[in-house]
């Protein structure tokens, strides 16, 4: 019986927002505006960090790369979702689904590592200011960026292969907005315990460990700031870290809520909402956070727009 129920999957069907046909045009318009804002906002940050002489520092070098990552991260899911909403067809070929999942995990791991690298940069700047130019020289910055981009690639390819090489039973419909390994477990045949463990191990190395490194960095930053004699020095140091800290809270807060909820509280609609939150919220708010809270960025944007 189990063998007869095994399905050779050629394609999956992403149900997405098919249960809301009357809101199709509205949802398409909202997500299109969001995607355009992500492209323009993060694109502006990339341009000004490249061409403005006052922003040629490690912090803005990392910010430019992080903004490019945000564009790539969102482009994995949003364009496909817009197409599905407009055509009302969620058919996605097996290979395309696997590719989307793989790149989604690769870029997700890179985002966690980038946030850890940026936290380390703030730690060196505040806790070891005299050694900052020596420690965070251009060569080291380039090496950290390359490491953040490629470290997770082999592991994410391995995890993706493990999930998509399994056999599937029953329906090929995925009640989600994009392909995700956790959703594939629902239609997988047999015992999925090993795959769940591998997913947890992968999450530990590329989500939990970077978060712990960020926490350690900020504990030391706060301890150093509290020792500063002047109030103005303390406020300036806190202000320097505030933008990055807000982005960290947004990203990790949404990911934590999405993945660490109890299984009894899971529902298809809540999964979609939280998936949208951690895939869209950080990329769309990242330019606003860094521009509204940073005078150098505001001045650079004004100069660019005037030109």
CA distance 161 to 124: 38
Answer whether 78's CB lies under 8 Å from 33's CB.
no
Answer whether 41's CB lies under 8 Å from 288's CB.
yes
The whole-number pLDDT of residue 262 equals 43
Tell me how many domains the chain contains: 1
CA distance 174 to 57: 45
CA distance 146 to 273: 32
CA 23 from centroid of its chain's CA atoms: 27
Instruction: Name the DSSP letter for residue 76.
Output: T
State how far the alpha carbon of 268 is from the alpha carbons of 173, 176, 183, 277, in Å: 12, 7, 10, 14
Q: Which of 138, 150, 113, 126 is nearest to 60 (CA)?
A: 138
CA distance 202 to 208: 9
Q: Which residues contact 81 (CB under 8 A, 6 or more apart)?
A: 16, 31, 177, 178
CA distance 304 to 307: 5
State the first-to-last Cα distance of the chain, in angstroms, to the nearest integer.
70
The whole-number pLDDT of residue 158 equals 92
Instruction: For residue 44, give the CATH number of its domain.
Output: 1.20.1070.10
CA distance 171 to 80: 21
CA distance 31 to 90: 16
The whole-number pLDDT of residue 115 equals 94
The whole-number pLDDT of residue 260 equals 61
The whole-number pLDDT of residue 19 equals 77
Assigned token pair, 130: 């005299």
Task: Outline where the chain has alpha helix (H).
Answer: 2-5, 24-51, 58-75, 78-87, 94-127, 132-135, 138-150, 153-164, 181-184, 193-203, 209-226, 231-259, 268-276, 282-292, 295-306
The whole-number pLDDT of residue 259 equals 65
Q: Which domain holds residue 91?
A: 2-306
Q: Which residues contact 216 (CB under 8 A, 6 or more apart)?
A: none
Q: CA-based diameter of the chain, in Å?
A: 75
* pLDDT tens, residue order, the chain (307 aa): 344 455 567 788 888 887 787 888 899 999 999 999 999 999 988 998 888 888 889 999 999 999 999 999 999 999 999 998 888 888 899 999 999 999 999 999 999 999 999 999 999 999 998 999 999 999 999 999 999 999 999 999 999 998 888 888 767 888 888 888 878 887 888 777 888 888 889 889 999 999 999 999 999 998 988 888 877 777 777 777 888 888 898 888 877 776 665 454 456 667 777 778 778 888 898 888 877 667 777 777 777 777 7
């Amino acid at each position: 019986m189990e063998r007869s129920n095994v399905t050779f999957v050629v394609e999956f069907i992403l149900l997405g927002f098919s249960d809301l046909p009357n809101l199709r045009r509205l949802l398409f318009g909202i997500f299109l505006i969001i995607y355009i804002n992500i492209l323009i906002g993060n694109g502006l940050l990339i341009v000004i960090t490249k061409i403005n002489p006052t922003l040629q520092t490690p912090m803005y070098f990392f910010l430019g790369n992080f903004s490019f990552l945000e564009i790539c991260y969102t482009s994995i899911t949003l364009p496909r979702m817009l197409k599905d909403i407009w055509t009302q067809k969620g058919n996605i070929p097996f290979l395309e689904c696997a590719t989307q999942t793989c790149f989604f995990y690769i870029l997700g791991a890179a985002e966690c590592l980038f946030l850890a690298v940026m936290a380390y940069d703030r730690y060196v700047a505040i806790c070891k200011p005299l050694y900052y130019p020596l420690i965070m020289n251009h060569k080291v910055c380039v090496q950290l960026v390359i490491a953040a981009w490629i470290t997770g690639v082999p592991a994410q390819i391995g995890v993706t292969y493990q999930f998509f090489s399994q056999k599937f039973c029953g329906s090929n419909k995925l009640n989600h907005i994009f392909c995700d390994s956790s959703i594939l477990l629902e239609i997988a045949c047999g015992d999925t315990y090993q795959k769940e463990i591998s997913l947890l191990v992968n999450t530990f190395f590329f989500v939990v460990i970077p978060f712990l490194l960020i926490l350690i960095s900020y504990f030391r930053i706060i301890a150093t700031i509290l020792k500063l004699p002047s109030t103005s020095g303390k406020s300036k140091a806190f202000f320097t870290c505030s933008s990055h800290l807000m982005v960290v809270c947004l990203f990790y807060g949404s990911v934590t809520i999405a993945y660490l909820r109890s299984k009894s509280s899971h529902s298809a609609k809540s999964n979609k909402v939280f998936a949208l939150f951690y895939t869209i919220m950080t990329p769309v708010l990242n330019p606003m956070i860094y521009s509204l809270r940073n005078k150098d960025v505001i001045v650079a944007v004004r100069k660019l727009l005037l030109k």
